[in-house]
Amino acid sequence: MSFFGLDCARKKERELERKLRANDREYNLSFKYATNAIKTSKYNLFTFLPLNLFEQFQRIANAYFLFLLLLQVIPQISSLSWFTTVVPLVLVLSVTAAKDATDDINRHRSDNQVNNRKVQVLIDGKLRSERWMDVQVGDIIKLENNQFVTADLLLLSSSEPLNLIYIETAELDGETNLKVRQALTVTGDLGDTIESLAAFNGEVRCEPPNNRLDRFTGTLTYAGQKYSLDNEKILLRGCTLRNTDWCFGLVLFGGPETKLMQNCGKSTFKRTSIDRLMNVLVLCIFGFLAFMCTILAIGNGIWELNDGSQFTVFLPRQEGTDAAFSAFLTFWSYVIILNTVVPISLYVSVEIIRLGNSFYIDWDRKMYHARSDTPAEARTTTLNEELGQIKYIFSDKTGTLTQNIMTFNKCSINGKSYGDVYDYTGQRLEITEHTETVDFSFNPLADPRFTFHDHALVEAVKLENPEVHAFFRLLALCHTVMPEEKNEGELFYQAQSPDEGALVTAARNFGFVFRSRTPDSVSIVEMGKQRSYELLAILDFNNVRKRMSVIVRSPEGKLSLYCKGADTIVYERLHQSCNKLKDVTTEHLNEFAGEGLRTLALAYKDLDEEYFSQWKQRHHEASTALDDREDRLDQLYEEIEKDLLLLGATAIEDKLQDGVPQTIEQLSKADIKIWVLTGDKQETAENIGYSCNMLREEMNEVFVVSGNTPEDVGRELRNALTTMKPDAVEDAVFLPERTLGKGVRAIRDEAVNGEYGLVINGHSLAYALERSMELDFLRTACMCKAVICCRVTPLQKAQVVELVKKYKQTVTLAIGDGANDVSMIKAAHIGVGISGQEGMQAVLSSDYSFAQFRFLQRLLLVHGRWSYLRMCKFLRYFFYKNFTFTFVHFWYAFFCGFSAQTVYDEWFITLYNLVYTALPVLGMSLFDQDVNDVWSFQHPELYVPGQLNLYFSKTAFFKCALHSGYSSLVLFFIPYAAMYDTVRDDGKDIADYQSFALLTQTCLLFTVCIQLGLEMSYWTAVNTFFVLGSLAMYFVVTFTMYSNGMFLMLPSSFPFIGTGRNTLNQPNVWLTILLTSILCVLPVVTYRFLSIQLRPTINDKVMFKVRQAKATPPPPPRRTRIRRTSSRRSGYAFSHAQGYGDLVTSGRYLRRPALTRSSGFAHAGRTTTGFSPMGRSAGYSPTGRPQNAKIEDVEVTSLQMYRTVRDPAF
């Protein structure tokens, strides 16, 4: 990664393999690896001015004004003073440079803050405190609890047993679950002995720097032995060390070569589609300007040949000047005079409008999240109007759509459903924040954050219903959760997935409290009684089994197998006697799934002692086999997990952020397509798709692409394409003569009958993004209403965005909250960061940020649409007023001998754009709105014209130019005819140049003000003041400039002495102004009237509704909770991962000496943990802390409670 001012050396050859040696800086420096310093700034003190000016003059208009300035210093062709161009140009360059400098200073501060953090580095046999930027590849560093990981490290040793450490990866992937990493035994034995670590000289060979967060390959050679390295031994920069006193690591990658920085993607300068269109239009305007100047130069040449000789008596020519040279000089003179077709004030005004609309986003209280004290922030000011043109949204899932909180909502036990609340008539009530919750005070060990509303379940527990007790006993025993009890009665659960934690917490509150565990036992408190179950086996979860089981022996000696898993899987293994119960439970499961809940079936069986001892022996043989170990274990699991007895089912809500389904529904109505790109499993992503209303049961079909070869993926995509559009042509249909740069043709949108969804996983997506298949994938995906890509890498997220940008003439937006979303956020036209507790990496790379996904609808449907509408109105009006102003010069040239004389007073030319018309147009561009925010939400279809570029396009610009041409004809010839051979009411002549100039410019100003009034939809006191104030200012300045006093002070600068009072006191002059103004706006009024009557737009229809409602819109309909009827059910614990069962049952288990404690029920009072419930049902959070809380000291996890126990039985 290269940056300006950092390294101007020739580009390093591409690295194929990394080689490094621990504690040997001299050896490692020979490879010229990057240091750990990062640099995101663009300039330094010396490069700022040249680089910034070079960037600014890449904007065509700035270069054009510099060229004009050079022309104006040539006296032969300049008819205007040089300062009329140099002052505004310097102003624009200075304001832009100041903004760029401020942004870059902030980047420098951020870089310095990170680079100057301190870390302990092992140098020359001693630990020294060094700055991050001075850390080098091959150094050994020491990290302590709650410290950020400095660079990408190979874990060497830690303070924890088995060389384990715990890290939080929220900055990387937005997930708050703690993850485990484990060092090699050979390096773990080094411990924290400085002498051993200083003597360590292992050599590492590994992959070169890349952006794969989930994969690492390499080898460590030490003491003549070679050891394999994988991702489980690597700590990535951006992680935080948790619940680990200390650890030592070897630096593998530093600074820009770390995976975090590799995933940042390159920062590109984002321009809006209007900016790009403006560049094209400005080029066209320059061409048209040259065309007009050429015509006038030819006219001058002809006039000089025919009539010029007659004027030489009183207008002598200079020596050597002939008609041709005069025409050449005239060409450049007219370039200066007609330059107002593209005035520099256009760019100043655009920046002011964008800045103002950015402040509206920052100030919007309806986008402020009080709980986390987070306002919305526009981090860039250049993209506002593009927010009104979004067609595709690419969203992350975890932390963006969901809160990553699971809540136990409902369950079915022995054919009875629990969780709903009914009134006395038997009608089901909607559960709200005010619904009465169950009182768990009978249980002093209950979690105060857990809420449940159905009292019937607690009553069943208290009445000792055997099936209900068996149900919660299963939940308390069948899991891999690890408990932690710092103080008596204060329990914290560390679950490797939030699903597990939610289920164990539910069992805890209903009186079956999971208290502690060892490798061979599980202790629970059942309704106040301490009981210890012998743990004989864990049949662990994996993606194929989709279930887990435990085999336990009760204190009474009874052997039981408890199983929980996906309902379809468990149903296949049930005893025939359960058929009736299965039918009833299925109905309940369908109902739960219809509400978007994640369902799980529970079953058990009692085991025969003799059979189990034989099975245990075979299990031991299979688990130690060298060949086909997995297959043999699977067969044994299948054998014992059959003839189960059904207990019931659970329903967990994967808590979405507030308002997500409604937001997605609103955005869909605005014809915005939403694609979810997530690293989660397919089932989890699908489930969330249904929960948040992206995927719906009413859809004709949801295609799942999961092929493992290019051929399979291609076939699945073609089948989906054929299903949606049987008559689809083989190749994509390109838009005629529409290119997106670099010769890429844009693909046409294809309409389909019905609604479809597409789900594709990561390895299939890798094939789909290959050049041979990318168009098939894009066509299929774009025909679907919703697209979900699962198990995708950060790079693939960016590739999907780039693909849509490449072939679609549309604007894209990416929204995410973790470092794994940064490349996607940077790739999209607009990047939005969710600022919450999951880290700030995405926010720092984004263009806009806020705290909740639901604010996106306000950002787009209100702020985005208004910004786009205002900018388009501004551009249409600005071009109109300036073209009209300039074209009058063109017509006047035919009456002044093509002499490059201006038709207006020079002071009027200077002040026209800066004073007389600046504020009214800014007022419209900052305050105008067609309808208010309430109506914008009620009619999301108002957003569609922005996607289609209907408000400002080449066609709209051409119409604007025609209108200006007509207005300039009226503005020149009506005053000309009105003054021709006219006398004042006192008989004196009025038809002089100065009177004509004053009349024309007054007509022009009235016309453009009336035109502005017609453009404006929303009048405010400020707008009215600006319009009337500008007219008043014109007359004040005019009478002042044309006064005797100004003439006497500077006769050459104020030649129009007395013109104002002599001309504007004539009735016929005011009649001419009135007639001219009416004729100029008459075609506009007629066109508007006919278009509203014959072909009304969606805006016209809604504005008519608003007028009918007398600007008091009806109250928005009260939203009820969206309920779906669905036969689809989700599989088990989808964020679960296999492998934890082995850790739990291994002899090398982590355990601290247990606290001496009673069962807990002897206490009279209820022990609180300092947490307060949040929202309708405070759910299980994987970090065991409330969402969005500002936490200073991180709690110690349960895993730290344990120390190595060597059981002689193992």
Please enumerate, as own/partner, the contacts of 841-846 that have beta carbons within 8 Å and a separation of 24 or more. Answer: 841/171, 841/172, 841/238, 841/260, 842/174, 842/816, 842/817, 842/818, 843/379, 844/110, 845/264, 845/265, 845/267, 846/379
Q: What is the spatial distance between Cα 705 and Cα 947, in angstroms, rounded to a whole number?
A: 29
Token digits of residue 399: 């932390």
User: And the tokens for 69?
Assistant: 């300035």
Q: Is 1178 left (phi over 0), alpha (psi -120 to 50) or beta?
A: beta
Q: How far does the chain reach from its first CA to its final CA, in angstroms?
A: 52
Residues 616/537, Cβ–Cβ less than 8 Å: yes
Task: Report how far residue 9's alpha carbon sits from residue 5's, in angstroms, rounded to the nearest whole number.
Answer: 10
DSSP 1175: S
Write down the residue that tokens 């008043």 correspond to.
1032
Asked if residue 398 lies in contact with residue 678, where contact means CB atoms within 8 angstroms, the answer is yes
Please name the helix (run of DSSP H) or strand (run of DSSP E) that holds residue 187, with its range, or none: helix 185-188
Q: Look up residue 616 and give its amino acid.
A: K
> What does DSSP say about strands 756-761 and 786-790: parallel, antiparallel, or unpaired?
parallel
Backbone φ, ψ for residue 884 (5° rounding): -60, -45
Residue 870: Cβ within 10 Å count: 25
Active-site annotation holds for 396: yes
Give the Cα separation of 958 and 966 in Å (integer): 13
Neighbours of 99 (CB within 10 A): 14
Pseudo-torsion of CA 125, 130, 134, 137, nearest 10°? 40
Cβ–Cβ < 8 Å for 920, 1023: yes
- What is the DSSP secondary-structure string of 865-881? HHHHHHHHHHHHHHHHH
Determine contact, residues 188/410, Cβ cutoff 8 Å.
Answer: no
Give the CA angle between residues 1062, 1067, 1068 to the nearest 5°: 95
Reduced to 3 states (helix: H, G, I; strand: E, B; else coil), residue 278 is helix
422 CB-near residues (< 8 Å, 6+ apart)? 428, 429
Distance (Å, whole) CA 183 – CA 225: 16
Count Cβ atoms within 10 A of the Cβ of residue 422 and give its class: 0-12 exposed, 13-18 middle, 19 or more buried.
exposed
Q: 286 near 184, Cβ under 8 Å? A: no
Taking each helix axis as running N to C, give the angle between helix 918-927 and helix 865-893, from 0 to 180 degrees, rounded to the nearest 10: 160
The torsion of the CA quartet 145, 147, 148, 149, rounded to 10 degrees, works out to -60
For residue 410, the 8-state DSSP code is: E
DSSP string computed for 980-998: TT-B-TTS-B--SHHHHHH
Q: Which of the residues 396, 776, 817, 905 is marked catalytic?
A: 396
Q: Which helix (H) or strand (E) holds 288?
A: helix 273-306
Query: Taking each helix axis from N to C terminus, what angle separates 345-363 and 60-72, rounded to the nearest 10 degrees?
Result: 140
Rounded CA separation 1130/1136 (Å): 13
Give the residue from 172, 184, 188 showing the smallest Cα distance to 240.
172
Show which residues are catalytic: 396
